[in-house]
C-alpha cells in the first residue's frame, strides 16, 4: 500500500462563530497533481494555511510522508520538504532573477564558524552556481537572469516565485493560485512548468480558478464549498458531478 505524501483528516478551522474549513479529509499520493477547487470563500487558502503551519487547526490532523505534522511551523515543514507559494507574488523585487534563486537556495548552504569568517569553499560556491543555472534553465528564466525581478512581466514574476519554491527541493509543492492574473499563453506555460515539476518526482497540490486548465492537467480534484468537501475524484467524474455542476461549473456545463 502506497503511503500518501499528504493526508489530512477531519481538518477544521473556526474563526469565532464562522467555520472556514469543516471536517475536511483528503489525501495526495506520490507524483500526483491534485487540484483544490471551489468558489471564492470555499476555504481553499485556509486549507493551505492549515497544512503549511500558518494557521493551527481547531480540530483535525495533518500527516506528511506518514509523519504527523499538525501545527508544525512553516520553516520546519520546509526543511522536511513541504513547500508552498502564495496568492500574491512573493519575490525580492529589487534583486535580480538569479539573486532571488540564490537566496532561495540558502537552506542548502552549510553554516558554521569557518563559513562565517572566510565564506564558502570554492567547491561549495561552484555547486551553488550550478544549481542556480539548472533552476533558471528549467524554469525558462535563463535569459532574464540579470534583470531585476520588478522588471519582469507579471507572468514571469509568478514563474520566478515557483522557481524559488523549487529551489528548496520540495517533496510536496503547494501552489496557491499560480495562474492568477495570467493571460492564456502565460497560464499554459505555467501549467506546463507544473507538469515538468511533477515529472521530476515532485508531488503537487494546486489551487486555482482556471477550472478548465485544472480539469486538463490534474490527476484528481477535491472540490470545496463553504469549507466542506463537496466532491473528490478524477476530472471527468468531477465534471459530471451534479452538485459540482450546480455550485461551481454552472448548469450549462452539464450540456
The beta-carbon contacts of 177-180 under 8 Å, at least 24 apart in sequence, are 177/87, 177/207, 177/208, 177/209, 178/85, 178/206, 178/208, 179/208, 179/209, 179/210, 179/213, 180/87, 180/208, 180/209
8, 27 contact by CB (below 8 A): yes
**Mean pLDDT by groups of 10 residues along the chain of 255 residues:** 94 94 97 92 94 96 97 93 89 94 78 54 80 95 96 92 93 93 85 94 91 89 94 93 80 49
The Cα 14–Cα 9 span in angstroms is 16
pLDDT of residue 110: 56
The Cα 24–Cα 176 span in angstroms is 18
pLDDT of residue 118: 55
Q: Among 19, 32, 94, which residue's Cα sits nearest to residue 232?
A: 32
pLDDT in tens, 150-168: 999 988 999 999 999 999 9
pTM for this entry: 0.88
Can you list the domains of the chain with their CATH numbers?
6-254 (3.40.50.300)
pLDDT of residue 181: 83
The Cα 1–Cα 22 span in angstroms is 28
The Cα 77–Cα 36 span in angstroms is 20
The Cα 4–Cα 31 span in angstroms is 10
Other Cβ atoms closer than 10 A to 232: 17
The Cα 98–Cα 129 span in angstroms is 9
Instruction: Tell me whether strands 203-207 and 172-176 are parallel, antiparallel or unpaired.
Output: parallel
224, 37 contact by CB (below 8 A): yes
Amino acid at each position: 500500500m502506497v503511503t500518501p505524501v499528504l493526508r489530512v483528516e477531519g481538518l477544521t478551522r473556526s474563526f469565532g462563530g464562522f467555520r472556514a474549513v469543516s471536517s475536511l479529509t483528503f489525501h495526495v499520493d506520490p507524483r500526483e497533481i491534485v487540484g483544490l477547487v471551489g468558489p471564492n470563500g470555499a476555504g481553499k487558502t485556509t486549507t493551505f494555511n492549515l497544512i503549511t503551519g500558518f494557521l493551527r487547526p481547531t480540530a483535525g490532523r495533518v500527516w506528511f510522508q506518514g509523519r504527523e505534522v499538525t501545527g508544525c511551523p512553516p520553516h520546519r515543514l520546509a526543511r522536511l520538504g513541504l513547500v508552498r507559494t502564495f496568492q500574491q507574488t512573493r519575490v525580492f523585487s529589487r534583486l535580480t532573477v538569479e539573486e532571488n534563486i540564490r537566496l532561495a537556495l540558502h537552506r542548502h548552504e552549510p553554516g558554521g564558524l569557518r563559513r562565517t569568517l572566510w565564506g564558502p569553499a570554492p567547491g561549495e560556491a561552484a555547486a551553488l552556481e550550478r544549481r542556480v543555472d539548472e533552476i533558471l534553465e528549467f524554469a525558462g528564466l535563463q535569459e532574464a537572469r540579470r534583470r531585476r525581478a520588478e522588471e519582469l512581466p507579471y507572468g514571469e514574476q509568478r514563474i520566478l516565485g515557483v522557481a524559488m519554491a523549487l529551489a528548496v527541493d520540495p517533496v510536496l509543492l503547494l501552489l496557491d493560485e499560480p495562474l492568477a492574473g495570467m493571460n492564456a499563453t502565460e497560464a499554459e506555460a505555467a501549467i506546463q512548468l507544473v507538469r515538468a515539476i511533477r515529472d521530476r518526482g515532485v508531488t503537487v497540490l494546486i489551487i486555482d480558478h482556471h477550472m478548465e486548465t485544472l480539469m486538463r492537467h490534474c490527476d484528481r480534484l477535491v472540490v470545496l464549498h463553504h469549507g466542506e468537501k463537496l466532491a473528490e475524484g478524477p476530472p471527468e467524474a468531477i465534471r459530471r458531478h451534479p452538485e459540482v455542476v450546480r455550485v461551481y461549473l454552472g448548469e450549462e456545463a452539464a450540456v
